[in-house]
Amino acid sequence: MSSSLRFEVVGEAFKKKAIDVPTPSERPSEFFAKYVFTRQKMFKYLPAEVYRKMCDVMDNGASLDLKTADLVAAGMKKWAMELGVTHCTHWFQPLTEGTAEKHDAFVEHDWKGGMVEEFTGKQLIQQEPDASSFPSGGIRSTFEARGYSAWDPASPVFVIGDTLMIPTVFISYTGEALDYKAPLKKALHAVDKAATDVCRYFYPEVKKVISNLGWEQEYFLVDEGLYATRPDLLMTGRTLMGHDSAKNQQMDDHYFGSIPGRVAAFMKDLEIQALELGIPCKTRHNEVAPNQFELAPIFEETNLAIDHNMLLMSLMKRVARKHGFRCLLHEKPFAGINGSGKHNNWSLATDTGVLLHAPGKTPLDNLRFVTFIVETLMAVYRHNGLLKASIMSATNAHRLGANEAPPAIISSFLGKQLSDVLEHLEDATDDELIDLAGKHGMKLDIPQIPELMIDNTDRNRTSPFAFTGNRFEFRAVGSQANCAAAMIVLNAAVAEALTEFKARVDALIAEGTDKMKAILKVIREDIKVCKPIHFDGNGYSEEWKAEAKRRGLDTEASCPLVFDRYLDESSVKMFETTNVLKRFEIEARNEIKWETYTKKIQIEARIFGDMCLNHIIPVVTRYQSALIDNVHKVQDIFPDATAAGLNADNIDLIKKISEHSGFITRNVDKLIEARKVANKITDERAKAIAYHDTVAPMLESIRYHIDKLELIVDDEMWPLPKYRELLFIR
Ligand code: ADP
Ligand code: MG
């Protein structure tokens, strides 16, 4: 890009106006889920008997026979064709980012020389996409390229444009999971079973426990014209170079500020479309960094919430372009200002009420509450390293323990009241406990509990896993991640903790201990065990890093090494006993993680090298030549100019430029060399480590010199839009 083009692009960006997004004539409650085959639509489009069967499938996991599937497909087709749909696709979540789809038209030969629209039960429930180019970590070798996608009836089908979208799991020919949804569903099943069993100690009528997820999606918007002139944004989703702008987030004037017009139009458009797809959007606001925003829906059952998050992310990208923006979901698009995350608000609820909410109506509610809190903490404590691995990626690594405050350590904030309750339970003497539990173990009264709600206002924003009144908020999840990775580990780990809890309580009961006393005894033991995970202090402080190490928490920050936690015996055992993943699958998935890590850094390094050699160095040399030229010209007019010091400033600048550009040129060569060395390594883990240890740090050290040059070189010549333009044009 020539400098004149840069100014044209920036000029055009400034001229962009908000598009008028018409307000729908209906209210949101009326157009909500317009494009979703909801239960109401099933009721309308399916024969009564088929509707009843579908409810049984959705609510109780009954299996769907082909004959019923044919009738369901016929009803769906009728509904979809009324919306102008001509195609259908299985929509799945492979182990890449994002979702995948392969569209088929609704057409079949009528064998009379014409065509008929057809959509059968078989097409609905199963497809065999040639899936050889999706990552499988070696599970599916290319000669056996078949993967199956199979409908998940718990996720309703929906329509986008002319296509009926059918949410599916994606598995290999031999049954191993090749996606996020298959193990997620198993983890949700495991936590349902384990939590229901524990609930029945308190309330035998409980039939089901549901895991809920409310995510909060952070993102950046950048003008599309500026975006197009940054090869780094285009190829990697983040800026690989760029000096801080004079003003960034230090004034805190963007956070919760009034939403700029073009952004507001984008948000409105996005929300209307998201609501039509059944995503219950609720909250929108400016975030801390300039041009950073957030959208949060109302929480939903975890499986559906994850479908909706995947759908929303692709919708955001599409709608942004309509408004002349690009939506950046990368965790750290800009150095020096906040990155983006995706808080995962997680809770469990029964078919009759919530489980993580206090005060309960009865002492029994309160004991149940404490049980679920403590066993969640046990899960997080035991698998803190694995939970970190579940949210770790090449891109999220920039937030965790690197250039942004949150440390790469998982700990849990509980707040004063809840901490007091746990302390009280732990310290009480047996006599006090008997008092607490009452004669029949029914009068458990924990005085602090009624105050718990007060604590919600005083939240510690530095905790990666904070209790926030009726849920835990897992804050370390990356903004572009599929939440399923974190939700698989969290739900499976809680399932394991609850199952072990129950086994120990049952053993005590079998020895003749009273049920409530048995529960209290085990809880008291566990409160002691999981103590190291509890931390209410400043998670961003240096002291915490040292303290966490002393407590035995996982403090590893190197992304490829953090992935190792998946292969710990404790992790494999947890995944296998909860029936979520087999060792073989975990190994395969880790191969993909390492490979993906390598590829990301490899692409960054390549594009970075290109930008250094094709964008930065030529412009810098040109500017330096202009300075040299000037020195000569001054000398022409005043023959003793240099001797008299008249050229001193320019000569200084010329020297500085030489130092910086010399460093860049030499080190880009070294960077290419380091890549070549790493590329020869065949073991995926070792290769990822090499990329992490040798290639990635060079991007940072070279960048320092480019950013310095940005401050020196004539603004008119600088070939890339600067941070102030990327972050403040909206
Ligand atoms: P904040 O930014 O203060 O954390 P938000 O209102 O932006 O809060 O987001 C909170 C999210 O938590 C929303 O998605 C909300 O629906 C969700 N949430 C609220 N209660 C629960 C719950 N019991 N379980 C799961 N998610 C919940
Ligand atoms: Mg939050």
Reduce the DSSP state of residue 164 to 3 states and report it.
strand
Q: Report how far ligand 2's centroid is from the alpha carbon of 725 (Å).
A: 29
Ligand 1 closest atom vs CA 343? 4
Q: What is the pLDDT of residues 166-209, one digit of tens each?
A: 999 999 888 889 999 999 999 999 999 999 999 999 999 999 99
Residue 560's pLDDT is what?
98
pLDDT tens digit sequence for 395-442: 999 998 665 666 799 999 998 878 888 888 888 766 555 444 433 333
Strand, coil or helix: what is 194?
A: helix
For residues 175 and 177, what is the distance between their CA atoms, to the nearest angstrom?
7
C-alpha 676/C-alpha 453 separation (Å) is 57
283 lines ligand 1 (CB under 6 A): yes
Instruction: Choose the residue to mutate in 216, 279, 286, 460 for probing ligand 1, maximizing ligand atoms within 8 Å of C-beta.
Output: 216
pLDDT for 446 beyond 60: no
Peptide bond into 359 cis (omega under 30): yes
Instruction: Report pLDDT digits (tens) over 342-360.
Output: 999 999 999 877 788 766 6
Identify the pLDDT of residue 441: 32
- Residue pair 171/181 in contact (Cβ under 8 Å)? The answer is no
**Confidence tier at 102 by pLDDT (50, 70, 90):** confident
pLDDT (tens digit per residue) in 74-87: 999 999 999 999 99
**Least confidently predicted of 281-285, 368-372, 683-687:** 281-285
Residue 478: phi, psi to the nearest 5?
-75, 150
- Under the banding of pLDDT at 50, 70 and 90, the label for residue 98 is confident
Q: Between 444 and 483, whose confidence is greater?
A: 483
- Return the best residue to mutate from 298, 299, 465 for the ligand 1 pocket (most ligand atoms within 8 A of CB): 299
Give the pLDDT mean for 603-632.
97
- For residue 67, pLDDT over 90 is answered with yes
Structure tokens at 675: 């890549």
Task: Return the closest-CA partner of residue 702 out of 726, 670, 656.
Answer: 670
Residue 350, token pair as written in the block: 């029964």
**Helix/strand/coil for 480:** coil
* pLDDT over 90 at 454, yes or no: no
pLDDT at residue 555, rounded to an integer: 94
Q: Return d(Cα 625, Cα 620) in angstroms, integer.
A: 9
Angstrom distances, CA of residue 281 to CA of 29, 93, 299, 300, 345: 12, 22, 9, 11, 15
CA of 596 to the centre of ligand 2 (A): 29
405, two tokens: 């405050």
Ligand with minimal distance to 355 CA: 1
Identify the CA nearest to 289 among candidates 347, 227, 244, 224.
244
Ligand at minimal distance from the CA of 343 is 2
Nearest Cα neighbor of 374 from 355, 351, 349 is 355
The DSSP-derived string for 33-54 is TTTB--HHHHHHHS-HHHHHHH
Model pLDDT, residue 566: 98
DSSP string, 483-551: THHHHHHHHHHHHHHHHHHHHHHHHHHHTT--HHHHHHHHHHHHHHHTGGGB--S-TTSHHHHHHHHHT
**Average pLDDT score over residue span 492-503:** 98
State which amino acid sits at residue 47: P
Comparing CA positions, the residue from 29, 23, 24, 21 lying closest to residue 264 is 21
Q: Is the CB of 211 under 6 A from ligand 1?
A: no
Atom of ligand 1 nearest to the CA of 346: 25
Q: Which DSSP string do the residues of 676-697 spell out, in sequence order?
A: HHHHT--SHHHHHHHIIIIIHH
Give the pLDDT mean for 280-309: 93
pLDDT at residue number 365:
82
510-542 tens-digit pLDDT: 999 999 889 999 999 999 999 999 999 988 888
**Is residue 394 scored above 50 in pLDDT?**
yes
Q: Return the pLDDT at 439.
A: 33
Q: Which atom of ligand 1 is nearest to the CA of 470?
A: 23
Measured CA distances, 422 to 416, 496, 527, 634, 677 (Å): 10, 21, 7, 78, 53
Q: Each residue of 408-417: b (16+ CB within 10 Å) or e?
A: bbbbbbbbeb
Averaged over 601-624, what is the pLDDT? 97
Ligand 2 centroid–CA 469 distance in Å is 12
Q: What angle do CA 708, 288, 10 make, to 5 degrees?
A: 55
DSSP 445: -
Angle at 633 between CA 627 and CA 635, to 5 degrees: 105
Single-letter amino acid code for the residue at 693: D
Q: How confident is the model at residue 297 (pLDDT cuts 50, 70, 90)?
A: very high
Q: Report the C-alpha gap between 348 and 498 in whole angstroms.
A: 12
Task: Name the strand (E) or helix (H) holding 620.
Answer: helix 617-637
Span 691-713, average pLDDT: 97
Q: What is the pLDDT of residue 456?
A: 47
Q: What is the pLDDT of residue 453?
A: 45
Residue 470 in contact with ligand 1 by CB distance below 6 A = yes
> Is residue 444 very low, low, confident or very high in pLDDT (cuts 50, 70, 90)?
very low
Question: Considering the chain, what is the average pLDDT of its residues?
Answer: 90
pLDDT at residue 359, as a whole number: 65
Give me the mean pLDDT over the 308-327 stretch.
Answer: 97
